[in-house]
Amino acid sequence: MICVYDKKTKKGEFENIGLGVLDECISAEITEELNGEYSLYLEYPANSKKANYLVEFNIIKAKGQLFRIYKVERIGEKIGKIKVWARHIFYDLAFYFIEAVTLVNANMKEAIEGTIPPEAQSVFKFTAPEENIYPFSIRNANSLEAFFKIIQFYGGEVKRDNYNVEILKQIGNNTGILIKYGKNIKGIKAIIDTNDFATKIYPIGKDNLVLPERYIEAEGEVSKILPYPIVKKVEFDTGDIDELRSLGKEYIKKASNPFINIEVDFLELSKIKEYENYKSLTEVNLGDEVEVKHELLGITAKLRVIKKRIDLLNPLNTKIELGNPLNTIIEKLDFESMLEKIESKITGSQNQLILKRNADTLNISTTKYQAMIIGFSVSADTNLTSNIVISGKASSDLTLSIFFSLDNKYYDLKPVQKVAAGDNIINVTLPMPQITAGQHAFVIEMQTTSGTFTIEKNNLQVTIEGRNLEGGLSPKLPRAEVLQAFLYELFLNKIQQQKQDIVITSDQKIISDIDPNIAQTNSYADYLAKSLEYFIDINILIVPKL
């Protein structure tokens, strides 16, 4: 059943037929793409009364999902139909604007909570991993752009279910379906490109650096596709033997998997006698894994459903696209871009910044209340500045007192703010001079003279900014080494998130001085320990400026 609703219908109000059931559709189809398009297209008789409801911004519910109309085309009188394009309700995130956000240390869940505006988070429910910690920033973008930037930065795949948005390492299941392909079959269009195919590579690094073993070969049956190996020279921008070997192994995994893309048209496929062999494909969902064997080449590849187009009126007319995301992951790793993004936040600027927001609603009353505590440390004596922005609602006219303390010592500045009943915004800038090297705890407390002052989630924002500032509680290594940890972990994270079948091979060595408090994540060892299942010893030489 396909229903249409008024554009002002709110979350939780879609359990009825709305303005009516669209039971005269000429055509209707939903297209969903992995980390991409999720849309509805339909055609409807122009002379129908319900056609009047098919206007921009109204909402259509189909297969239990909500789609907001963004484009309507009305065809002339002779044809007498209208065409409607709608995007999944998830795309309403584009309506929320972000001026600027900078996060020094944040996992993916924290990046979403700290970036997406509170008013959007009150509508959409986000679920995301809490594993990897990176710096993240965005400026002058809408929340949809910010969301996909977070996905691109941290890795993962999005599962959209109306107002519920979940990010997983990988969506879909291993179906166990095997497709044997060796000839042209009506209903199946296959593209197999071996242009970049190789079974053996000769890696070369900077200054003609080569491996002692010289070559890296592909594993498995793919290496026997021809009586002789297919060898390619591959150049890498590294002067380290171990890194050259690691990059080479990642490259050969990609190069020994030829680009394969298969489109399946079930309507055409149903017309051939072999249809029963492919009928199981009608049950696959986005992200599901299917094994494809090219019998002529002897290549078996695991492909995933990267796009699905469902015909709502005739399910047999559904089309799916199988692709291999593994072939493009290495090319997507732009190390120079990564370096710029990270270095600008860690080593490239004069100041560093810590930003923290309240994770829960705060109810401030006449009893002094500890609203926030921030642990930080500095690598050398320095001067810092803290900026506090509070957006809250007062139950009545009252006075709000704010107290600041550093390492249990209160500052002389104790702002007393008279606030009127209703919504209020308070902004306080606090100089923090002569901060000595080491670890510190900054505490903000509040108290009212009467009534309550309520601060919703994420509406108390505190920043601490200055030179020599380290995020976390226990910086053990110079920032240059933290930068290298970020880069190395980003590389591994991208590979592991999108290439789960890759086995990372490296010399492993337990780092003995890792602090057991894993929350202290700003040291090199801790960054690796936080996200990886093993520790890797990398020697970095830092040469001081003369």
Q: Enumerate the domain spans of the chain.
A: 3-91, 96-168, 174-331, 352-466, 481-531
Predicted model pTM: 0.56
Per the CB < 8 A criterion, the answer to whether 263 and 187 are in contact is no
For the ranges 14-28, 43-57, 465-479, which has the lowest average pLDDT? Answer: 465-479
Per-residue model confidence as pLDDT tens digits over 408-428 = 899 988 889 999 999 988 988
- Residue 226 buriedness (CB in 10 A; 0-12 / 13-18 / 19+): exposed
Per-residue model confidence as pLDDT tens digits over 87-126 = 999 999 999 999 988 887 889 999 999 999 999 999 999 9
Give DSSP secondary structure letters for 343-405.
HHHHTSSS-EEEEEE-SS-EEE-SS-EEEEEEEEEESS-EEEEEEEEEEEEESSSEEEEEEEE
Domain 96-168 has what CATH class? alpha beta
Give which of 358, 410, 354 is closest to 384, Cα–Cα. Answer: 354
Residues facing 110 on adjacent strands = none
CA distance 75 to 408: 72
User: In the CATH scheme, what is the code of domain 352-466?
Assistant: 2.60.120.760
The pLDDT, as a whole number, for residue 546 is: 40
Per-residue model confidence as pLDDT tens digits over 501-533 = 433 333 333 333 333 333 333 333 343 333 333
pLDDT exceeds cutoff 50 at 223: yes
Q: How far is residue 397 CA from its own chain's centroid?
A: 43
Winning range, highest mean pLDDT, from 56-70, 136-150, 218-232, 282-296:
56-70
The pair of three-digit structure tokens given for residue 486, joined into one six-digit string: 């970020």
CA distance 497 to 26: 41
For a pLDDT cut of 70, what percent of the chain falls above it?
73
Torsion of CA 170, 173, 177, 183, to 10 degrees: -30
CA distance 398 to 87: 46
